[in-house]
A and B are shown apart, each in its own frame.
Chain A
């Protein structure tokens, strides 16, 4: 396959970027999308030009590093798939592909297609945990958890924090990301003692980071590569309102 790529190039956070056109030749349909970019970068390097910076690591869809906005969609055209698991067989010979970074104020561009998602870490630091120290915890089977609850908590916990939800949202809202962690811990008995403060503090941090509000369009869940359900946002809203109505937390 021969392809034309329109790629966002931006030297660093403080310099303006622009789209630049590149051609790649002899791309195998068996390649992953990132392997196709590897080919581009090898070509650029041989030509003495600066390769395109992009985030990636495990290349098996679990680390959440890869974050490309392809033809106007988070992680490209295939449903339930991270960029690294997207394969070129989903494209056709002669296609023009537009590749941009996540666009959100809370995710500044590091360089080219790489963005800074440390806002997500700070939201977790605001309360996305159970406050237990190492040691002195009860036996793992001390508290029975109904399988259905454990499974639902697991489903929410599979979020990979890639940020596709934010990129897909017209408001650049982080509600799906935040709701996944809030739901997981609100469902489990271990999460109960801090249930109220957790949701209040995480939401406060989310707002502080500059993420937009949720207008219930659902593009986040539609574009989520691991299928985090929109139901989590409903749980988040419920948890938040209940906490605000009853807690003494001043966050």
Chain B
């Protein structure tokens, strides 16, 4: 199938403006005749649902949480980028565009990224109008900070809880539309399949997580805003419920999955403390503005630290290696995430890691505390320091934090065109759920920006173009496709319940995560990936013979929920490996050990791999078909990323 990205003609800076004029409009009186399903109520979903309802569409919003406000966007800490140039430090729409394309290691679509940078400025205005309490200066104007991968100060923030405040803004807009009756809210409802009628997305199947009831819902269009798939790795900074099921079900119904191997490993997370660990906690990247990353200069010192014979503060200045500052003098501790993560791993591989496991490096605030005082540091990072202390029982005002990279974000996702439509007409994907804007590596504070850009300012225009072309007649919910999809979901649930094996869903999930982290994590090679593919396949077979769940499907059954999600992760994991294996280059978060520069940096192959890999599902146990969308760069020059 030919992938048509539908990028509008014309100069980069005019594409979106022109496109907004060219898209068809739905007559205001007709808007109420169209139903739109939005799955997910995080930043991308809540903003889309609210904005579409404001326009007059009938929206049905679904979340598996007890409230829309619990979506994992809430946990985003550091901030949101916008090209406001309030700081007079040389920022512009083009610079944000350029930084994002470069940060993504030239694997994102120029037109989408430029649009993202353009609408970024509107997002801040919108959130302020909603009453989002961003950090402010004494003069009453909005404050900014800098963030990894950028040399301008363009990040807006609300202490270390920016995601929470932005989500509560979107949630309030959504709640207002619920009160008006324009959004019907379905909580504790998990999407388990997509309904496709005559090649078009026409509805979904959900399971109510308290009653177990399986329901079908019809609409003229479906928007998936269901987040990323980082939990394939079991341990990640994602919330426990985050999963790929909605996107994966859509994929199996015909939506291509793009660049699944592009996963982001965040450099600053609290290290694993034991086998029982259920999730990892991020320490915001903003900490790298003031924290200095280091390891001991020698393996001997690192060993003594690991044994607990000495403390970090016992190590003299000349015995410390501030390796990011040493290797990247221009960006220092603010290099992009992929670079910071790989370097931390390298230090630990050299035997200079700290903490009892040796899988950690220090993030030290002693200098900034000396310079500005503990109070000023607390103003900026108080909640993060408190969280760190709760988890580790160590006081970061006195001892440097121990950090290690962890899976945090997935740049890959459902393939979408410029309109955010997937390869299934009528099915859209927004936010982390799609692949579109971050290439092979996402810059800090850009996830919130993308989620809200898609939901507030892109989908309200582009979905109208689709709806205007279909008649405003109710969708026939009695079409056999609905009953079929429902029967499929029920049969799958029955099958999971009937296995009655010996291993819990959690055990399978951990086993999968171990394979993925080991072979498809921060560094990958062909041999390891080939081995991992066989292992994942074996695990998947075992899962369907040996998984153990008790109870029934007609009640609240968290083990059953988990089993369904793990089953999909087992399939997606294999596709991630296939994608990583086929991409014979290193770029961004995808680091293939065979392809690196002499000094260990990622070595891209623009001649052969400057494309989006969009995988097409062809049937169970069949290899997926690779479709390519060539990436054409007309406005930036492809260079080797250098942060030195």
Supposing A51-B558, A53-B556, A150-B136 touch, asked if A120 and B75 sit within 8 A by C-beta, the answer is no
Contact A154 B175 (CB under 8 A): no
Instruction: Give the complex CA separation of A41 and B476 in angstroms.
Output: 43
Point out the residues of chain B lying under 8 angstroms from A241, CB to CB: none
A235 to B506: give the CA distance in the assembly, Å: 46
Contacts of A151 in B (CB 8 A): 133, 136
Give every chain A residue within 8 A of B176 (Cβ-Cβ): 125, 129, 131
Instruction: Check B173 for interface membership: any CB of A closer than 8 A.
Output: yes
Which of A35, A61, A87 is within 8 Å of B277, CB to CB? A35
Cα(A121)–Cα(B555), bound, Å = 23
B278 and A125 contacting across the interface, CB-CB below 8 Å: no
Which of chain A's residues 110-136 have a Cβ closer than 8 Å to chain B?
110-111, 114, 116-118, 120-121, 124-126, 128-135
Q: CA A57 – CA B73 in complex, angstroms?
A: 12
Q: Which residues of B contact A251 (CB under 8 A)?
A: none
A169 within 8 A of B: no
**Is A34 in contact with chain B by the CB < 8 A criterion?**
yes
Q: Is the CB of B556 within 8 A of A126?
A: no
Chain A residue with Cβ nearest B70: A63
Question: What A residues does B145 contact at CB under 8 A?
Answer: none
Residues from chain B with Cβ under 8 Å of A39 in the complex = 276
**Are A81 and B279 within 8 A (Cβ)?**
no
Contact in complex: A35, B276 (CB < 8 Å):
yes
Q: Which of the 9-residue segments A92-100, A182-190, A214-222, A242-250 touches chain B? A: A182-190
CB-CB nearest in chain A for B68:
A121
User: Cβ of A65: which chain B residues have Cβ within 8 Å of it?
Assistant: 65-66, 70
- Please give the distance in Å from A197's CB to the nearest CB on chain B: 12
Complex: A150 Cα to B135 Cα, angstroms: 7
Cβ-based interface call for B487 (8 A) = no
User: Distance in Å from the Cβ of B84 to the closest Cβ of chain A?
Assistant: 7
CB distance from B320 to the nearest CB of A (A): 27
Taking A35-B278, A81-B390, A118-B187 as contacts, is the C-beta distance between A45 and B550 under 8 angstroms? yes
- CB of A64 within 8 A of chain B? yes
List chain B residues, Cβ under 8 A from A116: 66, 210
CB closest residue in chain B, given A156: B133
Q: Is B159 an interface residue (CB 8 A)?
A: yes
Bound-state Cα–Cα, A30 to B86, Å: 44
B502 surroundings in chain A (CB, below 8 A):
46
Chain A residues with CB under 8 Å of B548's CB are: 45-46, 48
Annotate A167-183 by CB proximity to B: 1 below 8 A, 0 otherwise: 00000000000000000
B10 within 8 A of A: no
A12 CB–B CB distance under 8 Å = yes
A147 touches B137 (CB 8 A): yes
A153 at the interface (CB under 8 A from B): yes
Task: Indicate the member of B124, B172, B386, B504 with the most A CB atoms within 10 Å.
Answer: B172
Interface residues of B in 123-162 (CB under 8 A from A): 124-142, 158-159, 161
- Asked whether A117 lies within 8 Å of B67 as measured between CB atoms, the reply is yes
- Closest chain-B Cβ to A183's Cβ sits at a distance in Å of 11
CB of B556 within 8 A of CB of A12, answer yes
Could you tell me how many residues of chain A have their Cβ less than 8 Å away from some Cβ of chain B? Answer: 78
Tell me the bound Cα distance from A119 to B386 in angstroms: 30
Chain A positions within 8 Å of B161 at CB level: 62, 158
B163-171, B260-268, B625-633: which lies at the A interface? B163-171
Q: Is the CB of B139 within 8 A of A140?
A: no
- Is the CB–CB distance between A34 and B278 below 8 Å? yes
How far, in whole Å, are A134 and B67 apart by their CA atoms in the complex?
Answer: 22
* A91 → chain B closest CB, angstroms: 14
CA distance A218 to B129 in the complex (A): 32
Q: Once the chains bind, are A121 and B125 in contact (CB under 8 Å)? A: no
- Distance in Å: Cβ of A206 to nearest Cβ of chain B: 15
Whether the pair A57, B387 counts as a contact (CB closer than 8 A) is: no
* Chain A residue at smallest Cβ distance from B82: A140
Residue B525 lies at the interface, judged by CB distance under 8 Å to chain A? no
In-complex Cβ contact of A59 among B65, B240, B274 (8 A): B240
Give every chain B residue within 8 A of A64 (Cβ-Cβ): 69-70, 74
Q: What A residues does B321 contact at CB under 8 A?
A: none
Closest to A49 in B: B550
Residue pair B75, A114 in contact (C-beta under 8 Å): no
- Chain B residue with Cβ nearest A130: B131
- A140 & B558 in contact (Cβ 8 Å cutoff): no
B350 at the interface (CB under 8 A from A): no
B373 within 8 A of A: no
Chain A hits for B136, CB < 8 A: 145-147, 150-151
How close is B145's CB to chain A, nearest CB, in angstroms? 15
Given A35-B277, A130-B130, A131-B176; A144-B125 close (CB under 8 Å)? no
| Contact across chains for B393 and A89 when beta carbons are under 8 A apart | yes
Query: Smallest CB-CB separation from B136: which chain A residue?
Result: A150
List residues of chain B with CB within 8 A of the CB of A232. Answer: none
- Contact with A58, one of B75, B124, B460 (Cβ below 8 angstroms): B75
A60-85 with Cβ < 8 A to chain B:
60-65, 78, 80-81, 85
Q: Is the CB of A50 within 8 A of B550?
A: yes
Tell me, rounded to whole Å, the shortest Cβ–Cβ distance linking B393 to chain A. Answer: 6
User: Which A residues are CB-close (under 8 A) to B368?
Assistant: none
Interchain CA distance A34-B277 in the complex, whole Å: 10
**Bound-state Cα–Cα, A53 to B276, Å:** 19
Q: Which residues of B contact A234 (CB under 8 A)?
A: none
State the CA gap A3–B74 with chains docked (Å).
33
B530 contacts the other chain (CB 8 A): no
Interface of A toward B, CB cutoff 8 Å: 11-12, 28, 30-32, 34-35, 38-39, 41-42, 45-46, 48-51, 53, 55-65, 78, 80-81, 85, 87, 89, 110-111, 114, 116-118, 120-121, 124-126, 128-135, 137-141, 143-147, 150-151, 153-154, 157-158, 160-161, 184-185, 188, 190-191
Closest 3 CB pairs of A and B: A144-B140, A129-B172, A137-B129
Q: List 16 A-B contacts (CB under 8 A).
A: A32-B278, A45-B559, A56-B240, A62-B75, A63-B75, A117-B67, A129-B175, A134-B47, A137-B128, A140-B125, A140-B128, A145-B140, A147-B137, A154-B135, A184-B133, A190-B130
Q: A87-B390, A134-B47 are in contact. List 6 more A-B contacts (CB 8 A).
A: A57-B241, A61-B387, A89-B393, A129-B172, A157-B132, A190-B131
List the interface of chain B (C-beta within 8 A of A). 47, 50-51, 54, 65-70, 72, 74-75, 84, 86, 122, 124-142, 158-159, 161, 164-165, 168, 171-173, 175-176, 178-179, 185, 187, 210, 239-241, 273-274, 276-279, 281-282, 386-387, 390-391, 393, 456-457, 460, 502, 504, 506-507, 548-551, 555-556, 558-559
